[in-house]
Amino acid sequence: MGPGGSGMTWYPKLLSVLLWFIPLAALLFVIGYFAVGDLLSEPLPGIRGGLIPVFLAAGVLLLVFSMRSPLPVTYLVPLYLIAMLWGYFYQLALLWDAPPGASLIRSTFYLLLLLALILFLIPRPISRRYLLVAAGWILVNLLSILGNNAPDSVIMLYIIGVVMPAVFFLALYPFFKVGGSLQRLSGAITIGVVGFLAGLIILTFLATAVKEYGSIGLARNASDLNYAAGVIFLSWPFLFWRLNSRPVLWRVIIVGVTLLACILSFSRTVFVLGGLLAVVTFLRPSMLRNKKFILAVIILIVVLSFFVSGQVSNLWLGRLSLPSWADLVSFDPDRLSAFMSTGRPEIWSFAVSSFYDAPLTGNGLGSFSTLMLEETGGTAGYSGAHSLILTVLAERGLISAIFIAGMLIFIWIKLLWMWRSEAGRGREFFFLAAAGFTCFLVAAHSLGAEMLNSGTMFVHSTISILMMVYLGILLSWPAIKRSLPES
């Protein structure tokens, strides 16, 4: 029998839901394209207008499922996760030009998801440990809405970026008590993240063509693809833990989208850390034995190399301070010094001085970009300090920073411990999780973990949702382990 005692009876139910929702979504997109699209500003008003009723309908559908679901409840949490991740892609499309009414539209979608999660939780008992972590998370970040420089949307940022991840974290407790939960969540994160990254890649090319940026480097800033590293590193164990058990085409898509997202990030941090993470992942014996997959990946890389434009190649050479790719293996001290020069110390210094202005409560959730614009007279704006903790210190103060730093240290040490103490599939998962999370910590304190403007690690929730997944796995591991396959 499968989850919920229904065997595989959930599959035809899910198929029937998709069969009627897909044509409904197409109809809603057409209606939104013509009825709503022209009300929004450029770019892509029609497409963006078409997306609005589709995403809102998806939110309503999950809300209905929370009250009376045709699927086992264990499949709702992965659906919530996919909706959230794809919802941030939708939010990014709305924020691209900040049209009038965009905040109300995107907030409605998230509020529907939040209400669905609450309805999901009402009839279910929750562990005291989960309740304490969620309550502490909500309370320590509550101070950040009191900052003098908090933006007008700080309440909604708090609900979306703090409250919703906490409620999702609580929903993980009953989910992880059912067999096969980690495998199911791994599949959901893979679908959600690959779709999310593919959406950012599409937006990058659309920004180049439609907005006529003239440079794909500027276009990646429009889609914030340079900040996708945090999502890639945190989702790494879920993407590659069960990779060999997936169809070859799906594996190639996962590798291809991840590789393309890293290439178009134009981030030196991603170049170094992503390369190291790929090496430790793909040199494992379980990967090397799969010759058909290795051949498919090699062909993919060769094909991509033919389609990578000279502009992309030249921009990467500039980012790496190299005159040519042949110089990549050189160890010229001057080039190394140029490569390491990032201008980070000035931004970090500004974050520290901003922290001293409001040490306990911070300057306000989402305030860093405003503070930076005021400091530079509008000539330079950053959504964060290129350092996770420094951004949190400046925006949310010392109390929140201590809580968040403690949570990060707990997760990291626990992942390393589980990697050393577990065996079989559990050991393999925690090896990838510890490697990915280590890269995330380094990246988060180098390029930051912001995903959107006026955002930090925990404002728009993409990163914080994945962080809550890590916490949930560690707290519920005894229950998860009982149903973990041996091989």
Domain boundaries, the chain: 18-124
Angle at 384 between CA 155 and CA 230, to 5 degrees: 95
User: Residue 108: how many CA atoms within 13 Å on its side-chain side?
Assistant: 13
Residue 161 gets which letter from DSSP? I
Alpha carbon distance 45, 38 (integer Å): 6
Alpha carbon distance 117, 461 (integer Å): 15
pLDDT at res. 134: 95
pLDDT at res. 444: 83
pLDDT at res. 99: 54
Is 13 within 8 Å of 5 (Cβ atoms)? no
- Whose tokens are 């893979």? That residue is 190
pLDDT at res. 453: 45
Is 227 within 8 Å of 450 (Cβ atoms)? yes
Concatenating the DSSP letter of every residue in 2-57 gives -GGG-TTTHHHHHHHHHHHHHHHHHHHHHHHHHHTGGGSPSSSHHHHHHHHHHHHH
Q: Radius of gyration of the chain from Cα atoms?
A: 22
For the chain, residues with pLDDT lower than 50 are: 1-8, 41, 336, 338-339, 452-459
Cβ burial 433-471 (10 Å sphere, 16+ → b, else e) = bbbbbbbbbbbbbbbbbbbbbbbbbbbbbbbbbbbbbbb
Peptide bond into 78 cis (omega under 30): no
- Percent helix, strand, coil in the chain, to 5, is 75, 0, 25
pLDDT at res. 462: 78
Torsion 324-330-331-334 (CA) sign: negative
Quickly count: other Cβ atoms within 10 Å of residue 472's Cβ.
Answer: 24
Alpha carbon distance 387, 406 (integer Å): 16
Alpha carbon distance 451, 463 (integer Å): 8
